Amino acid sequence: MKFTNVNNVKVYNVNTGKSVPEWLTDRKKRALVKKDVDLQQRVQLIQDFDMPTAATRIKMSRDQQYLMASGVYKPKLKCFETAELGMKFERSLDCEIVQFQILSDDFRKVVFLEADRYVEFHAHFGRYFKTRIPAHGRDMSYHSGSCDLYLCGSSPDLWRLNLESGRFMAPLRGKGKEYNVVKISPAHQLITSGSTTGGVEVWDPRTKELASGLRLPMEDNQTEEVTALRYSDDGIKMAVGTSGGMVYMYDIRSDKPFVVKDHQYGYPILDLKFHSSKRVLSTDKRVIKIWDETDGENYTAIESQHDINDTCVANDSGLIMTANEGSDMQAFFIPDLGPAPKWCNFLDTISEELAQTDNTTIYDDYKFVSKMDLETLGLSDLIGSRLLQPYMHGFYMDMRLYQKAKAAVDPFSYKDYRKEAIKKKISDKRANRIGVVKKLPKVNTDYAKFLIQEEAKGESGKKDTEMAGNALKDDRFSSLWSNPEYSVDATSEEFKARHPKLAKSQFNAESIKLIQQNDEEESERDGKGSDESSSESEEEEEVKAPVKKEKKKKTTAPQVNMYEVNAINHEKRRKERKVMLGSRVDEEMGEVRTHAAHVGGRSHTFKMHEKVDHAAVEKEKARKEHVKERVDARRSVKTLNLKRRGPVYWRGQKVE
């Protein structure tokens, strides 16, 4: 369970965690919950407390036994039974629900205002009646005294549908062009509507006439729509919310607000609630602000992960539920605002346990030990002395005393710690050393390899080549590795004349071999250390000993490539010995031989090569490769350990 602490008031989110995809089957859902740890640890106040895409409205029945919520997409209504903490039923509708009202004390009678101008009545068995209003509706309220359902929308009229006679009555025509909200006071039954022009109009339900009107205090040339209305339980106070994020608190005996509250976000106020703790809950799409109704002082705030569409307070308790744009509907519990409802009274215990386990105290200079740990360390005699400070089910003791006692009980643990510390110290020293340059420059690549070769010889102690390594890193020689005009061509005649003993093929082979050796040594340094420094202490020698043995094994390993080359040369010499001496001389002298003749003449002799059928050669080569693959892929039946079966006889004669 997650909680936030805003203004020293703890707000617990009692419906957090991952959600399971709706399209999965029940079997796959159970398997997913078993595999995912986050799904196992999630908290669900009510089972299936979600919608396919988003929730639009949420309301509680008057008997506090049922919770209803509407959402999309598909347009859907869900009814939850609080006694079972689960869903009772769900229904799909033809159009999105704009607003709904629970007419009875339980779930049996509900009316829906839909986005396609239809008003739909449902009973406990399903749809009962459906009618249509002249314009798109935005809000509705039910007056139980006269059985009238008042609806408002994009029209200057308040439509009045009498549910007793089942017909529309004469509408209430106001001064506004359109109306966003209509509410009825629970105390004196006054019908109040809020218009798009910033006016509030009050109607008398007995005479069906306009009793009074109110204009919100706004600046010049500024018009804000009335988007939310709510009366207090005593009917004296009235809260008005606007499209600019302002809330005005009125006493119905005065036309001037005594409290003005600004949400600071600029979003329209969606809902207003009066709480029994003399606080007001004002909601926009980002936050639910709770503040004092007398002076507007902030109490706390609830921020949701998704945009909020509607709120519901469970019977003046500390439980607040929201319908938002996310698939999961949220539930927040504030213990300081009020106790948990009767149907989820376990929230009080859970919040207390969470508050106790959350505040943990840890001291760096002290070690917490239990009584069993003291007996293991042989310090049970110190119980009651000043060296042990009792705390909960154990004691706090000085960390130095704990380490000394542990070293006395287990002396080998200190040796292991000492070796690990030495390894860490050596690795830290090597991290500051200059490593081998692995990324070679594009210009004078061969010369860079040669310098790396000289640097490697200098590290092994054969000769001092400090300047060779610095040439690769010194900025003064940067043009040598970046400017193509300074490139050295090892195949040119000038280079061969200056360096007759240095062959390019030998230079490249040796340098590449040294690069590979340096890479292997660098990988060994990262993991197991090396023996470069001869002045290390005896403690470091203990760690380096196994590494030296391992490196000796590597250096004495046979060179497989050299054996392959020798085998190829031996086969070549064996074939040459089978050829006659004259043919061998002709091949060495070349294909064309020139002879001097008499009287200044010259003659040329040459040997004709046999015609080679290249297609046949390639075919034979492919056949040999195929035969080799078949031999390699053949599996022997010896591994099956089959028993050899003897001969079969019938009537004394061998038949198999």
pLDDT attached to residue 470:
67
Helix H, strand E, coil C: the string for 119-144 is EEEEECCEEEEEEECCCCEEEEEEEC
Q: Each residue of 324-342: pLDDT tens digit? A: 888 888 889 888 888 888 8
Whole-model pTM above 0.85?
A: no
pLDDT attached to residue 531:
42
- Classify burial at 329, counting beta carbons within 10 Å of its beta carbon; exposed 0-12, middle 13-18, buried 19 or more: buried
Phi, psi (rounded to 5 degrees) for 573? -65, -35
Mean pLDDT per segment of 10 residues, for the chain of length 656 residues? 76 70 66 69 76 90 91 90 89 91 91 92 90 91 90 91 90 88 90 90 89 82 86 90 91 89 89 91 92 89 88 88 87 88 82 52 65 85 82 79 81 72 80 59 79 66 54 78 80 72 49 50 48 44 46 45 49 70 63 58 64 81 86 70 74 75
Q: What b-and-e string marks burial along 206-230, b requiring 16 or more CB atoms within 10 Å of the CB?
A: eebebeeebebeeeeeeebbbbbbb
pLDDT attached to residue 119:
93
DSSP for 179-229, please give it.
Answer: EEEEEE-TTT--EEEEETTSEEEEEETTTTEEEEEEE----TT----EEEE
Determine how many CB atoms are found less than 10 A away from the CB of residue 22. 12
pLDDT attached to residue 303:
87
Cα–Cα distance measured from residue 135 to residue 155, given in angstroms and rounded to the nearest whole number: 7
CA distance to 230, 262, 278, 293, 300, per residue, from 275 (Å)? 11, 19, 6, 9, 14
Name 54's Cβ contacts closer than 8 Å, sequence gap at least 6: 71, 72, 73, 306, 309, 324, 325, 326, 327
Is the previous residue joined to 74 through a cis bond, with omega within 30 degrees of 0? yes
For the chain, give every domain's residue range: 1-43+216-358, 366-430, 441-531
| 1-43+216-358 fold | Lipocalin (2.40.128)
